[in-house]
Structure 1
Amino acid sequence: MRVLILRCGDAPLPADPPGTVLNLPEIPGRRDLRPLDALAAELLPADPTPSLDEISAQPDVPHLGAPGPAPQAPHLKERLRVVVVGTDAALSAVLTRMMRGDYLWAELAFVPVGESVVARNWGIDAPKAWDLALGGQVRPVPVIRSDQGIAVAGSATIRSWDDGEITGEIVVDSHVLLRHEAREDVRFNGVFGARLVPMVDAPGIAAVRATEPENPVLNWREKVARRLGGAPPLDPDSLATGRAVQAGGPALAVTVDGVRHRRPLERVTFYRHLRDLQVIRP
């Protein structure tokens, strides 16, 4: 098995890490990840399995059921395990490159640095993350992406560009998660958009409504009222699951793993990719 360790930023490493270490920026870009592209091409020069176009043309959708092993595995010259050491944003960047390069057959392990939604979702115990990354087994999960080709590692949010109440509609499959027109002077306990996370099984996405802004600034009276009211920042009763989340509105702020899209959008879709991710997790 070939092991490639992607050290993103100044993430700490063991004294004598196995495999090849590639030192990258905190959030690597496409150019930074060219060595990963080259290694994947070396280990699978030609993919004999059905292409993405061929999969999407199939009359049924078994590929959107329970996530499964990569069909390319029997054809590899050697297994490839990619260990990402860094933040959720770093993992999203690597996962996005793997998805766009169509080599999601590579095994992907994660050693989180700092607070990590991915670590919670995948059940990674930070003190044991290195042992898991190097010695753990593959347990496939769905890949969730946006229509702009960005992969979601841990979570994504859809909110109003000005961080006030949202005007627009968000739908999970055929279920309307919210349909709302923003009201003035609502500071909390309102309708502020949605947060979504990738699931580890079908159908792929779990989403809930947000009940307060991304960065609430409250005076002391509002803080007391919120504490007494017991309103959480997310509405757990609104939970909906599905294969796709579609949103539309005049000025949406879309953030993936802490990285905000550079401009407001009028529509965005998150959906399950046609291939699954070969994750190393407990």
Structure 2
Amino acid sequence: MHVHILRCGEVEIPDVEFSQVSAIPTRQELKSIDAAAAAILPEDPTPSLDEIARQPDVSHLGAPQFAPQPIDDPLRIIVVGNDAALSAVLTRMMRADYMWAEVGYVPASSGGAALASTAAQNWNIPTDVDAAMQLALEGAVRPVPLIRNDTGLAVAGSATVSAWDNGPMMGEIIVDDTTIARGESDQNSPFGARLVPMVDAPGILAATAISPVANPRALGLDVTEDTAETGLLARFKRKFAKTPELGQLDPSSARTGRALQAGGPELRVIVDGVSGKRPVQRSTFYRHLRDLQIIRPE
């Protein structure tokens, strides 16, 4: 087995040989795993993505499958970092079309601080760095659907679609044929939706967001308090005003499906904590034609 360990940023890591890359690895930094994949499988003899898409059945959208490529000495890529780092690596693998490579994930943060990893939670990966590394090195592949969006970004842990200004959303979000969020005015409109990849078909689990999906400061939004009101009562109101809890979801709205589609005047798409650079009017998430060969417990 060929093992490539990527340390993404200044994160805690056990005593193993690794390649140092940025906290969110760049395409240039990931050329080493591109080269390793090309050396192991110079030419893929299995059906191409276009050929799979033209198949009359939808077997590739059923239960996740092991990679069909005939490889005796596999490539295992281990990502040590956060969900955004893992998303960047999966995106590169997907675009270069070597999803047959095995992937291990070690959720880690700088200074040993606690890390909230949705991907680790989804796949039941240990939060202890040493235990996660042992699993990544010695564990077995258990394929899961790979979820991507229409701009070619892979989702490791979660993604959200919301209003660009982080407020109530104008527009509509649909999972397969079911509308889970519709905003027509500022009154009682949802804040968007959040999705997570499933470990089995159909691939996507999504629910309506009933509070802002992200911290506005993290998005670079203006959060200057309105100080027009003065006096003791105004200061009291500002001091004790409740800030909406971020990321609250409506459990009754949860739906599973193969695709999520959103449309609206100014939408923000956030994939694993990284926001798109500009607003969009449409966004689609769907299951990739090849499954993710992730190392995870039974």
Q: Same fold (TM over 0.5)?
A: yes
Of 23, 26, 38, 1:26 maps to 23
The answer to whether the aligner puts 1:236 opposite 2:258 as a matched pair is no
The answer to whether the aligner puts 1:156 opposite 2:174 as a matched pair is no
Instruction: Show structure 1 runs of 5+ residues with no match.
Output: none
User: Which amino acid in 2 is paired with 1:245?
Assistant: L
Give the number of the structure whose alpha-carbon radius of gyration is greater.
2
The answer to whether the aligner puts 1:92 opposite 2:81 as a matched pair is no
8 Å CA contact 2:191–2:209 kept in 1: the answer is yes
Of 264, 272, 278, 2:287 maps to 272
The offset of 1:180, in angstroms, is: 1.4
The answer to whether the aligner puts 1:106 opposite 2:79 as a matched pair is no
Output the TM-score relative to the length of structure 2.
0.86
**Residue 61 of structure 1 aligns with which residue?**
58
Of 139, 143, 151, 1:140 maps to 143
The answer to whether the aligner puts 1:81 opposite 2:76 as a matched pair is yes
The offset of 1:168, in angstroms, is: 0.2
Runs of 4+ in 1 over 6 A off after TM superposition: none
The answer to whether the aligner puts 1:254 opposite 2:269 as a matched pair is yes
Q: Secondary structure at the residue paired with 2:92?
A: helix
**Residue 195 of structure 1 aligns with which residue?**
194
The offset of 1:275, in angstroms, is: 0.3
Q: Secondary structure at the residue paired with 2:202?
A: coil
Q: Secondary structure at the residue paired with 2:146?
A: strand
Q: Secondary structure at the residue paired with 1:115?
A: coil
Output the TM-score relative to the length of structure 1.
0.91
The offset of 1:61, in angstroms, is: 0.4
CA–CA distance in 2 between the matches of 1:116 and 1:273?
Answer: 22
**Residue 70 of structure 1 aligns with which residue?**
67
The offset of 1:207, in angstroms, is: 0.3
8 Å CA contact 1:43–1:77 kept in 2: the answer is no
The offset of 1:126, in angstroms, is: 1.6
The offset of 1:12, in angstroms, is: 2.2
Instruction: Show structure 2 runs of 5+ residues with no match.
Output: 109-114, 217-222, 224-236
CA–CA distance in 2 between the matches of 1:233 and 1:215?
Answer: 12
Q: Secondary structure at the residue paired with 1:178?
A: strand
CA–CA distance in 2 between the matches of 1:271 and 1:219?
Answer: 43
CA–CA distance in 2 between the matches of 1:88 and 1:199?
Answer: 15
Q: Secondary structure at the residue paired with 1:13?
A: coil
CA–CA distance in 2 between the matches of 1:52 and 1:58?
Answer: 10
The offset of 1:78, in angstroms, is: 1.5
Report the RMSD for the aligned CA atoms in angstroms: 2.0
Q: Secondary structure at the residue paired with 2:291?
A: strand
